[in-house]
Structure 1
């Protein structure tokens, strides 16, 4: 692979992390299912089982994969609600225990719904006892899968932040140890971006919009995303003097980057930025936005 091809691939990964993340996850799960299904089939052959049952392990494994992939968006949303950290350990354990139980329950329901029609076509019935050892057998596997996905999600988030560039306050050495942005700190004209083995400055005026994401605020600029460890409220208290305004519970825009706005009969609307990107506008923040526009 040439340097240019490598650069293009990195660029695509940065711009479309979810697309490639799901693709990689799907490939891994499908290969893993093929290995598991072939192993079960070999065991059936060794035990002189009926050759007509070869489709059973295939159905078991791939129905599990399809169910898992369908649940992944919900699962990753769940992970964003409670990012891993070194505080409130008991609360995190309780949160993820509930998450693992819900994941197992939904995974089992989807698998049953996928398997029953195939068993019916084969003139057979698929039995599952939810309140017996069947559930605990499945939960044991699903709890391990939940822990695996949780670990992979946070590792992928960490490496993506390093690949795309993580934002820091100037003079801030470690975002993981720094407190949330202080109200007393002067509105920054630049943010320091640390990307792999290099650093550069991002002009605050080049930031198009802000997006709350767990313990981070994603700074969107020219198609790139730079996560900043802070809350949206604290970040806005700093950036409002520079022309930033909240448009939604989890969104804010740079007023100077607005190209046009459209409003619906409900009072909500959409803001189109100069880049062409559309940001949601809640009716709760509409009047404040209009007032702020008159001041820039």
Structure 2
């Protein structure tokens, strides 16, 4: 088995449980990093003959911080996905990330102190966090730097992941177009060109079951695989509407030919079952337009 085949095999295994593997890798990083920090604190205090610090205390401090960060990681991932770096509205982005780092710090400190008090209490001792204002400022300095590091690490990991998975771009029948020009010309491409490492592949538009908005990208779901396209959902649907694609949600669009059945709730919302078994939410905001497009497509076929 060649190097490329081995790499592909490992990547496909990672794809099956990417969230779990990413979380475990992050947990291992925190375990190693905070263990080193705990040993450093212990060695520093050992230099002072008057120190009363017990060996387990640095471990409690560092591991309570690590566990708190792990518990808050899903919030960070959710926010990082909602607020990817963009070149427009930079001040607003900085303000929102500054606010998020403040919220992260409050959550981190709260969970950390609760865990420390719990462990100290179980060992028959008391834990004093210290003056709140001073200690909060001390922790926030570290947490805002940690927030920036995690944001950078997340974006770097996402970039590498998308490069391995393959970025998609629009391709016409006889010439390549970007999504903006294709939207203006109202063309309907037959394929997407997917660039993956040093190879290129063609993905048929008719094989794409649904579209999902993800920050600056639109994820193309085709035969169990996901191909990120750098575009907006609105422009992509505008390009593909003549191929039977309709918007069904603020962040979703579907290929009519991939639909197995549709069900509706009393609230007016609905659910679309695809031939692949995937279930998508149908928002009542887009329900009427979706129905009319389906009916128009049916009439054209007849």
Q: TM-score, normalised by structure 1?
A: 0.90
Question: Per the alignment, do residues 179 and 134 of structure 1 end up closer, same or farther by CA in structure 2, a change over 3 Å counting?
Answer: farther
Aligned equivalents of 1:89, 1:282: Cα separation in 2: 31
Aligned equivalents of 2:182, 2:131: Cα separation in 1: 49
Contact 2:195 2:201 in 1 (8 A): yes
Question: Per the alignment, do residues 58 and 180 of structure 1 end up closer, same or farther by CA in structure 2, a change over 3 Å counting?
Answer: farther
Aligned equivalents of 1:216, 1:93: Cα separation in 2: 21
The equivalent residue for 1:285 is 286
Aligned equivalents of 2:213, 2:97: Cα separation in 1: 22
Query: CA deviation digits over 1:15-62, x for unaligned, max 9?
Result: 4432222221111111112211122222333324346x2221111111
Aligned equivalents of 1:9, 1:133: Cα separation in 2: 47
The equivalent residue for 2:211 is 210
Contact 1:15 1:223 in 2 (8 A): no
Query: CA deviation digits over 1:171-212, x for unaligned, max 9?
Result: 668x7xx75863324021111111111111111111111001
Aligned equivalents of 2:290, 2:80: Cα separation in 1: 32
TM alignment of 1:76-95, pairs within 5 A: 76-95=77-96
Q: CA deviation at 1:232?
A: 0.8
Q: CA deviation at 1:261?
A: 2.6
The equivalent residue for 1:109 is 110
Consecutive unaligned residues in structure 1, runs of 5 or more: none
Residue 33 of structure 1 pairs with residue 17 of structure 2: no
Residue 264 of structure 1 pairs with residue 265 of structure 2: yes
Secondary structure of 1:183's match? helix
The equivalent residue for 2:7 is 6
Secondary structure of 2:185's match? coil
The equivalent residue for 2:46 is 45
Residue 133 of structure 1 pairs with residue 134 of structure 2: yes
Higher relative contact order (CA 8 A, sep 6+): 1
Aligned equivalents of 2:142, 2:116: Cα separation in 1: 18
Question: Per the alignment, do residues 15 and 219 of structure 1 end up closer, same or farther by CA in structure 2, a change over 3 Å counting?
Answer: farther
Q: CA deviation at 1:126?
A: 2.3
Contact 1:180 1:234 in 2 (8 A): no
Residue 66 of structure 1 pairs with residue 48 of structure 2: no
Secondary structure of 1:41's match? helix
The CA RMSD over aligned residues, in Å, is 2.3
Aligned equivalents of 2:168, 2:266: Cα separation in 1: 38
Question: Per the alignment, do residues 75 and 249 of structure 1 end up closer, same or farther by CA in structure 2, a change over 3 Å counting?
Answer: same
Question: Per the alignment, do residues 129 and 40 of structure 1 end up closer, same or farther by CA in structure 2, a change over 3 Å counting?
Answer: closer
Q: CA deviation at 1:2?
A: 6.5
Contact 2:258 2:274 in 1 (8 A): yes
Aligned equivalents of 2:168, 2:131: Cα separation in 1: 48
Question: Per the alignment, do residues 266 and 232 of structure 1 end up closer, same or farther by CA in structure 2, a change over 3 Å counting?
Answer: same
Contact 1:15 1:224 in 2 (8 A): no
The equivalent residue for 2:229 is 228
Question: Per the alignment, do residues 142 and 130 of structure 1 end up closer, same or farther by CA in structure 2, a change over 3 Å counting?
Answer: farther
Query: CA deviation digits over 1:192-247, x for unaligned, max 9?
Result: 11111111111111111100111111111111111111111111111111111122
The equivalent residue for 1:24 is 25
Q: TM-score, normalised by structure 2?
A: 0.88
Give the stretch that moved more between structures: 181-190 or 273-282: 181-190
The equivalent residue for 1:148 is 149
